Structure 1
């Protein structure tokens, strides 16, 4: 990848970065962190250790916009002064459209291998809004999928996966497959259940590495043109959460970090989940 330091920022989709260990093992110039102090320390150490630029890559499939915004806020502390022009926030690893496409592929493979089986889309429990997004993703996989009964497990404890498997079996008795909606490479909870198979990971390590390299190259290109991506990242979680009233006339102003923007009366908000559908990540 050349003279560049890469920091992969993990959230609930990667067990706070623990699921990214296979990637880092094959990418010596990379490190893993979470937003906040861990990221601050990693970036400062990278800047002090060489003159190479530092690219920070949010490892999300689009279900953790708060993590992106927190990452951007962290980077504001180190991106100025002597570090100006040396720190970049890249585009996120993927989008929910990418996630849906990969889960549909997993559903098709499951239906081919185990006709008549069910499928549980599993992820660590997160915020209510991120968990709601997982249900939306699973619904789209179901209606555009391979005819499988599809359930969702937002796992906070092992029993949560068991309950999700039981719900799917109540509708379609028999074999159940479990697929991760994140970067998990294993699922001990699924392995412990009878007639249940884990059908992850979503992508091979080599495929993840290819996307990481592409995102890094894109961030370096933008940095060379004076765009570090941090300001855009501050707005990543805009519209993510409870809807808010705009008042009787509809005009209002939002403040984000060091800047604000206004919405004219009755002007619609952009859909935060309206992303262009890519056929593949890399």
Structure 2
């Protein structure tokens, strides 16, 4: 008799500040039957623990960090939660997938937004907007905006880290002061709407970076790759623990290169990551 097929995996999407702690991911669920969305920490722990305890016997739980690369702390924290759960439930049923996207993917999609804006609204400026997080992730947004500006179409680019509606308005005023009377707000995360633009004359919202269908295709790719790696004994947790390695002031090496704290380092394993152009083409 042929060997029994492994039970279908349970999919958990975990989102941080790039998706309003997962709230922006809900529209994806229609294209991902059975998937659940959660925020990091206790919510993630409870969701995964329940699936491991009550889910179909033998069905792996795949946890996918929904980030464009600007929230490495969320990935590392997720890995820590899964490491603890692995110690309680044993290996082989839990896997941390690759992040949904990378900074390169984000820059490529934002450059496409700049190109389309320049083609359809010549002279319009672009405000790249994201929810305010921490100084390091916010600084990464400024770096991304600089890359889009440098390798874009000459479109004026202004980043906006939004903690309150007035933050977007200030970014709009800066752009207007530089000569952009017409502005397009484009999200640097998973936001699908931006109600704040309704109160700003001459400002429109670009729309989401990817359609639900395209995003679901990427999720399926990450899911398939994660299940494949789990079959080879790699649950991705060790790699995830290093996601925020070197991120922030607290992580530093001595002047002589000494590394004073231990890490769980992963074994070598070939991973296949999508090129930025491939992801853009799928939208």
TM more than 0.5 = yes
Q: CA deviation at 1:260?
A: 7.3
Once the 2 structures are TM-superposed, how far is the Cα of residue 253 of structure 1 from its aligned partner? 3.0
> Does residue 224 of structure 2 align to residue 226 of structure 1?
no
Q: Residue 26 of structure 2 aligns with which residue? A: 21
| Structure 2 match to 1:270 | none
Contact 1:61–1:95 (Cα < 8 Å) also in 2: yes
Q: Specify whether residues 175 and 10 from structure 1 end up closer, same or farther in structure 2 by C-alpha distance, changes over 3 A only.
A: same
The TM-score normalised by the length of structure 1 is: 0.90
- The 5 A counterparts of 1:131-210 are 131-210=138-217
Equivalent residue in structure 1 for 2:243, among 236, 261, 266: 236
C-alpha distance in structure 1 between counterparts of 2:67 and 2:262, whole Å: 25
CA contact (8 A) 1:4 1:29 kept: no
1:251 and 1:80 map into 2 onto residues whose CA distance is 30
User: In 2 relative to 1, CA 17–260 (structure 1 residues): closer, same or farther, beyond 3 Å?
Assistant: closer
Counterpart Cα distance in 1 of 2:248 and 2:146: 20
CA shift for structure 1 position 87: 0.5
SS of aligned partner of 2:262: strand
Unaligned residue ranges in structure 2 (runs of 5+): 1-6, 267-272
Asked if 1:74 corresponds to 2:72, the answer is no
1:255 maps to 262
- Quote the RMSD (CA, aligned, Å): 1.8
2:8 aligned partner:
3
Q: Judge conservation of contact 2:253–2:260 (CA < 8 Å) in 1.
A: no
Q: 1:248 to 1:36 in 2, by over 3 A?
A: closer
Match of 1:96 in 2: 103
SS at match of 2:278: coil
Instruction: Tell me which of 62, 74, 77 is aligned to 2:69.
Output: 62
1:159-218 deviation digits (Å, cap 9, x = unpaired)? 000000110110023100000000000000012211111002000000000000000000
Distance of 2:180 and 2:110 partners within structure 1: 21
Alpha-carbon contact 2:239-2:265 (below 8 Å) kept: no
- Structure 1 stretch 237-246 or stretch 7-16: which is displaced more? 237-246
Contact 2:156–2:180, Cα closer than 8 Å, also in 1: no
Distance across 2 between alignment mates of 1:205 and 1:12: 19
Aligned to 1:272: none
Q: Look up the SS of the partner of 1:120 in the other structure.
A: strand
Q: Are 2:96 and 2:226, in contact at CA under 8 Å, matched by a contact in 1?
A: yes
Query: Does the 8 Å contact 2:246/2:252 carry over to 1?
Result: no
Gaps of 5+ in 1: 262-274
Runs of 4+ deviating beyond 6 Å: none
Task: Give TM-score, length-normalised by structure 2.
Answer: 0.89
